[in-house]
Amino acid sequence: MNFYVEIMNNRALLACITAWFIAQILKIILTFYSSKKLDLARIIGSGGMPSSHTAFVMALSTAIGRLHGWDSSIFAVALCFSLVVMYDAAGVRRAAGNQAIVLNKIIEDLAHNKPITDQKLKELIGHTPKEVMAGAILGIVIANIMV
């Protein structure tokens, strides 16, 4: 079978991509709803509601569980991978975003006294636990629908 046809028939991969895409579209919709501004850059942006990283990996774990069994070793690997990604999204990346906020404030404060040419750091890189949970639910639902 042709490589591209095989990829397009990979239900687990299609579930992951679909969950990621829906999460990114939801970010645009929810950003528009909260700020009344259409921000199409959210389609590729990180951070925000829901976590597309989490939706992606939980769709993968769910699809693998459904396809290969909940007691399979490959499901265990996928679930452990998903939990690490979710921890990183809510923990490490969130902390880095909080640090970016503080550093940007320092740059602004210094800017009032002398010109500083440093650019601001990206602050929206992590997720709240609610955003991670929403991504997990989205990924599980999409995989259950598609697989």
Angle between helical axes of 11-35 and 52-68 (0-180°, round to 10): 150
What per-residue confidence (pLDDT) applies to 32?
A: 85
Residue 101's pLDDT is: 74
Crossing angle of the two packed helices 129-146 and 73-90, in degrees rounded to 10: 150
93 alpha carbon, distance to own chain's centre: 11
**DSSP, res 71:** T
| pLDDT tens column, 7-46 | 999 999 999 999 999 999 998 898 888 888 887 777 777 7
Q: How far apart are the first and last CA of the chain?
A: 21
pTM of the predicted structure, to 2 decimals: 0.72
**pLDDT at residue number 93:** 64
40: helix, coil or strand? helix
**CA 116 → CA 9, 100, 111, distances in Å?**
53, 16, 6
97-116 tens-digit pLDDT? 667 777 777 777 777 776 55
Quick: pLDDT tens for 130-147.
888 888 899 999 999 998
CB 64 within 8 A of CB 75: yes
